[in-house]
Amino acid sequence: MTAARQTAHRAIAMRSITKRFPGVVALDGVSLEVRAGELHAICGENGAGKSTLMKILSGVYQPDAGALEIHGQPARFTGTRAAERAGVAIIHQELNLVEDLSVAANVFLGRERRTPLGLVDDRAMEVETSRLLQMLECRVAPRTRAGSLRVGDQQLVEIAKALSLDASILVMDEPTSALTEAESVRLERTIHRLRDRGTTILYISHKMDEVFRLADRITVLRDGRHVRTVDRAATTPQEITGWMVGREIACHAFHEPRPRGAKLLEIKALTLPWPEHPRGYRLADVSLDLHAGEIVGVAGLMGAGRTELLETIFGVSPPTWAGTIRLAGQPVRFIHPREACDAGIAMVTEDRKRLGLFPDLDVAGNVSLCSLREALQGGLLSRGREESLVAGPLRDTGVKTPGPHASIMGLSGGNQQKCIIGRWLLTQPRILLLDDPTRGIDVGAKAELYQLIDRLCRQGLGVLLTSSELPELLTLADRILVLAEGRLTAEFARAEATEHRILEAATGS
C-alpha cells in the first residue's frame, strides 16, 4: 500500500543514466527522482549535462546505460513522439520551429487536426492556437509566419505547442533565456497555472532568482554527475552555485572608473521606418554617443527597438533609415555586416541559431570565421594557423570543448554562445555591439566574461550592450539608455540607475 502510494507519487525515476558522445561522457550514472506535481529545477555549469539528461527523458536521445520510469512504469523512448504519448513534452533550449510555416502549423506539426473528410483543418488549429497563445498572454496571430517572429515570441509558440500536447510532465530548458523581465513574469504566471493543474515541471535555468522563486526542489549536476538534490527551502543561491562550480566565484562590480577616450560612435536623430505597423517606425529620433573605454547599456522591453538599434548600426537592417551615424567623425551607412566588420565593428546577436552558428563548420571554423584572412596561408586554410588563431579566444571565453575540431553542434548551449563571443573578439573590434550576450551562460562563466569585457574596454574598446537582465546592465554599464516603443525615454548614469527607475522608463509609467 505505502509502496504503491509512493510510486504513484513519483512522476519520474531516472536510474544510473549514462550517455557518451565522442570524446565526452555527458552523463555519468545520474539518478534522479521527481515527485508528481513538483517544479524541479536542474542547475549546473555550461556543459554539466542538463540538456542531455532532459533529452533522454523526452526521447530525443537514448541512454547508453541506465533506466527510466514514468509514473511508475518502465519507459524506453525510441523518439520524442513516444515520449509525448507517455505525457512528456520538452521545450528545447535551441528553438525548433519550422520558419516557413505559420504559428498554428508549428503548434500542430505532425499532429494536424483534420476535418471529417480528412482534410487539414486549418481553422480548428488556428482557433486552438489562439486559445493557447491567449493563455500565455501572447498577442501573435496564429497565421503569422514563425520565422518572422523574434526569439521571445518563438519561445512562447514552443510553449503553446507543449501545452497543446496536454503533457503531464513538461521539461523547460532555459525557457526565459530569450525573454525580457516583463515576459518572464508573464511566463511565471503560466507556470503557476500549469502547477495548479498538477503538471510536473522540470526547469533548467541559469537565473538563480528565478530558480529560488519557482522551484520546490533543486538538483545540481556537475561534469555529468549528480551532485545533490535539495528542498529549495533548505538551501541558498550561494550554496547552489558553490555545488555547481565547486569553487568560489569572483563576483565584484566594476566600479573602478574606466578612462573615457575619444568619441567612437555618434548617432543623431536615427529613425527606422516600419510601414506595415500602425506605429510607423521601429526607431524614432534616437541619438546617442559612444566613447572608447565606455560601456553604454540599452534597456527596454521586447519590441522596444534594442535589437533594431544595434542591427541598424551593424548594417543588418534595410538601409531605409534616416538620420546620421558617424564612426570616428565620418558619416557611414552600411548595407552589409561585412562593411561594418571592415570598419571595426563587431556584433554578438541574440539569436545564435539563426544568425550565429554554422553547423557545418567545427568549433575552430566557427570562431575563426570572421578572421579567415589571418588563417590563410598562400590562399589555403592552414589547420595549424587556425588552431593557434582560435586558442586565445577559446581560452579567454572559457569554452569547454573536446578540442578545436569538435562539432559545434555537439557543444552545450552556453559554450556555443561563448564561441560566438570569441569569434567577434578575434576580429579585434573598436566597437562591440552585444545583444543579450550572456544569454544561457552560467554564473561563473558570466563573471569571467564581465571581467574580460571590462579589460578590453580599458584598452580602448567601446561597447553598446543590451540585456534582458537588468542586473547585467547595472553591473557593466557606465550609462544606461532606455528605449520604449522605439524612442529613447531616459538616460541614467550608473550611480542613478536602479531596476525600478529603468523599468518605469521602459514601460512609460
Ligand X SMILES: Nc1ncnc2c1ncn2[C@@H]1O[C@H](COP(=O)(O)OP(=O)(O)OP(=O)(O)O)[C@@H](O)[C@H]1O
Which positions lie near Mg ion, rule CB under 5 A? 51, 93, 412-413
Burial class (CB in 10 A: 0-12, 13-18, 19+), 29: middle
| Shorter beta-carbon distance to ligand X: residue 52 or 200 | 52
| Shorter beta-carbon distance to ligand X: residue 91 or 482 | 91
Please state the closest distance from residue 335 (CB atom) to ligand X, in A.
35
**Residue 46 is a binding residue for ligand X (CB under 6 A):** yes
| Shorter beta-carbon distance to ligand X: residue 132 or 411 | 411
How many chain residues are in contact with ligand X, going by CB under 6 A?
20
Q: Choose among Mg ion, ligand X, none what residue 58 binds, the Cβ cut-off being 5 to 8 Å by kind.
A: none
Q: State which of positions 60-119 bind ligand X (CB under 6 A).
A: 93
Kindly list the strands in the beta sheet with 345-348, ordered across the sheet, starting from the edge strand earlier in the chain. 345-348, 431-435, 462-466, 295-299, 479-484, 487-493
**Residue 414 is a binding residue for ligand X (CB under 6 A):** yes
Q: Choose among Mg ion, ligand X, none what residue 397 binds, the Cβ cut-off being 5 to 8 Å by kind.
A: none
Residues 241, 447: Cα–Cα separation, whole Å: 12
Of the candidate spans 119-127, 310-318, 383-391, 407-415, the one that interacts with ligand X by CB under 6 A turns out to be 407-415
Among 32, 39, 43, 44, binds ligand X (CB under 6 A): 44
Sign of torsion, CA 359 360 361 363?
positive
Nearest CA among 94, 93, 162 for reference residue 129: 162
Please state the closest distance from residue 130 (CB atom) to ligand X, in A.
32
Q: What is the 3-state secondary structure (H, E, C) of 126-152?
A: HHHHHHHHHHCCCCCCCCCEHHHCCHH
Residues 437, 31: Cα–Cα separation, whole Å: 33
The stretches of 304-348 forming alpha helices (DSSP H) are: 306-314, 337-342
**Residue 410 is a binding residue for ligand X (CB under 6 A):** yes
**Residue 437 is a binding residue for ligand X (CB under 6 A):** no
Q: How far is CA 228 from the centre of its chain?
A: 25
| Shorter beta-carbon distance to ligand X: residue 24 or 105 | 24
**Residue 438 is a binding residue for ligand X (CB under 6 A):** no
| Shorter beta-carbon distance to Mg ion: residue 93 or 368 | 93
CA atoms within 13 A on the CB side of 431: 23
Q: How far is CA 416 from the centre of its chain?
A: 11
**Residue 415 is a binding residue for ligand X (CB under 6 A):** yes
Q: Choose among ligand X, Mg ion, none what residue 305 binds, the Cβ cut-off being 5 to 8 Å by kind.
A: none
Binding site for ligand X (CB under 6 A): 21, 24, 26, 44, 46-52, 93, 410-415, 440, 442
